[in-house]
Amino acid sequence: MTIDLKTVKHISKLSRISIDDEKAKKLSKDLNSIFKFIEKLNELDTKNVEPLSSIVQKNLKLRKDQIKSKNIREDILKNSPENNEDFFVVPKVVE
């Protein structure tokens, strides 16, 4: 797959990004090199390779879910823009 100057210009028009011819040529060259690399990756045989969720083969250590701080409601509500005893009061966003 190759990306020519016309395709780059068309994509820039669709995305409403203005680019000059010099940048478009450079972008075309960069995109073509990326697609060549993707084509090389597609040639690899990955049938016997398991997908990874992490490169480290280590299980996460589990811990108990415990409450460590109590009665901090007042401290939290001090950050509210408007004073209120029960909840945060913020300006209306949606009309």
**pLDDT above 80 for 84:** no
pTM of the model: 0.50
12: pLDDT confidence band, cut at 50, 70 and 90? Answer: very high
**pLDDT for residue 60:** 81
Mean pLDDT over all residues of the chain?
A: 87
**pLDDT above 80 for 81:** no
Domain locations along the chain = 5-42
**pLDDT above 90 for 73:** no
Return the closest-CA partner of residue 82 out of 72, 92, 67: 92
Return the closest-CA partner of residue 8 out of 35, 33, 29: 29
Tens digit of each residue's pLDDT (9 = 90 or more) over 23-37:
999 999 999 999 999
